Each structure stands twice: as structure tokens, then as C-alpha cells.
Amino acid sequence: MKFKLDENMPAEACAVLAKAGYDAHTVLHEEMGGQPDSMISSVCQSEARILITLDTDFCNILNYPPETHPGIIVIRTMDQSKSSVLGFIERILTAIETEEVERRLWIVQQGGIRIR
């Protein structure tokens, strides 16, 4: 699986995904910081990369229909510290073992994962 980490994600998340055997790129390392969500979405589609983000705008299925994307994972947490977000990444890695991500929207919260 291939992932793209939005600019609001800690850079260390890329290393966590790579250590688990996944191909991961970051928006910032590709010098796309500050670009509109629609552009990030288009790049993810063209590269067949699952987007991982803290940006809840990507939860809007009218603007970002899951079936037209390689996958969207939105982390919803009040605590956006590096350690908290990396903990969510670990939870995502565990869930990937049993749940499909492709062409779905995952909303990852403290209480669990909702999949559309």
C-alpha cells in the first residue's frame, strides 16, 4: 500500500509506515505545503496513494467521495501532539490487517474507527 501524509501530520509518521513495510510520502517533502485540499486529493488519486490527514474537510463525502479515491484516513483527535498522532498511526496499522482501506473513508477517533 502507498500512503501520502498531509502537511498536518508529524514527519515521524512516515518512518513508522515505512518500518511497517509501506511506501509513504509526505506533502511537505514534496513541497506541496499550503496547497488546496482539492490539489492534494488529485495528487493522491494520480499516485494511487491513501491520504492520512487531520483535516476534517476530507470527511465530506460530497466533496471527496470515497469510491473515487484510493482511500482517505482522517484522524479526529483533540490532542494533536506528535505522540498522540503517532499512537493513532499504530492503531491504523493494526486495523489495516483486517479492514480494507482502498476506496473507503476511515474516520479514526479515540473510541474506534468508522468506515464508510
CATH number at residue 37: 3.40.50
Cβ 77 vs Cβ 110: under 8 Å: yes
Beta bridge partners of 73: 52, 106
Please state the rounded mean pLDDT for residues 24-28: 94
Q: How many domains is the chain built from?
A: 1
- Judged against a pLDDT cut of 90, whether residue 8 lies above it is answered with yes
Question: 82: domain range?
Answer: 2-115
39, 56, 93, 111 from 36: Cα distances, Å: 5, 14, 27, 30
Nearest to 88 by CA among 58, 61, 59, 54: 54
CB contact set of 30 (below 8 Å; sequence gap of 6+): 43
Q: Say what the pLDDT of residue 41 is.
A: 96
Is the pTM higher than 0.85?
Answer: yes
CB of 78 closer than 8 Å to CB of 4: no
Segment 37-92, tens digit of pLDDT? 999 999 999 999 999 999 999 999 999 999 999 999 999 999 999 999 999 999 99
